[in-house]
Amino acid sequence: MQNDIARVLLTEEELHERVKALGEAITADYKGKDLLVVGILKGSNVFMSDLIRQINMPLNIDFMIVSSYGNATESTGVVKIMKDIEQSISDKHVLIVEDIIDSGLTLKYLTEMLNTRKPASIKLCTLLDKPARRKENVDVDYVGFEMPDEFIVGYGIDYAEHYRNLPFVGILKPEVYENK
Ligand SMILES: O=P(O)(O)OC[C@H]1O[C@H](OP(=O)(O)OP(=O)(O)O)[C@H](O)[C@@H]1O
Ligand code: HPA
Ligand SMILES: [Mg+2]
């Protein structure tokens, strides 16, 4: 698995430090509010579980399972919701947690859909942002790191469902996906 990695972009230590800082900022911003943290699976699973342990206040969590990449390195453009949030978000402060924003198609679709349910607020937190690839404009409130225009894997993020369990963030050798 590690042999398929061309370059490590973020080490375990760098990820830990940044996630801690994001958690502290979120704690300061939401103190005293009814916070619901919604992880967008599967990619956000690792980031979300580290992030909520750095948020020092009472909160609820929920998850959605959403997919638009399948086994490709380009979005299909069709956002499929496989699992929805299981509670009402009406009057709650919702923080959506993503692993990566690329074209922006997933978050644009999700925030428009969730806004129709009349939450008190919706904010977005993403570990990684690839602004160079944006097709839809999305306002992101908390960003861990800006990434170059490369296909990223690790720390929850996959290529064709592999590499999610790498403890760091890196890029694949091109031959890994070119030979598919
Ligand atoms: O900004 P976009 O171009 O929409 O890309 C970002 C989305 O793509 C990935 O999900 P994917 O569909 O691969 O599902 P996964 O989380 O199960 O890997 C990622 O986790 C984001 O949800
Ligand atoms: O760079 C990426 N890597 C993996 N999945 C993704 N989904 C959107 N962008 C990416
Ligand atoms: Mg994926």
pLDDT in tens, 11-44: 999 999 999 999 999 999 999 999 999 999 999 9
In short, whether 177's Cβ falls inside 6 Å of ligand 2 is no
Return the percent helix, strand and coil in the chain, to nearest 5. Answer: 25, 30, 40
User: Mean pLDDT of all residues in the chain?
Assistant: 94
- Tell me, what's the ipTM? 0.97
pTM: 0.95
Q: Nearest 5 degrees, angle CA 30-CA 31-CA 35?
A: 50
pLDDT for res 126: 98
- Whether 102 sits among the annotated catalytic residues: the reply is yes
Q: Is 122 left (phi over 0), alpha (psi -120 to 50) or beta?
A: beta
**pLDDT per residue as tens digits for the range 85-112:** 989 999 999 999 999 999 999 999 999 9
Residue 174 clears pLDDT 80, i.e. is over it: yes
pLDDT for res 180: 64
pLDDT for res 33: 96
pLDDT for res 72: 81
pLDDT for res 67: 87
* CB of 39 closer than 8 Å to CB of 66: no
Residue 40 DSSP SS3: strand
Residue 83 clears pLDDT 90, i.e. is over it: yes
In short, whether 157's Cβ falls inside 6 Å of ligand 2 is yes
% of the chain residues with pLDDT over 70: 99
Phi, psi of 35, rounded to the nearest 5 degrees: -100, 130
In short, whether 102's Cβ falls inside 6 Å of ligand 2 is yes
* CB of 125 closer than 8 Å to CB of 158: no
Q: How far is the CA of 43 from the centre of ligand 3 (A)?
A: 6
Query: Which CATH code fits 2-178?
Result: 3.40.50.2020
Query: Quick one: which of 142, 141, 156 has its CA closest to 44?
Result: 156
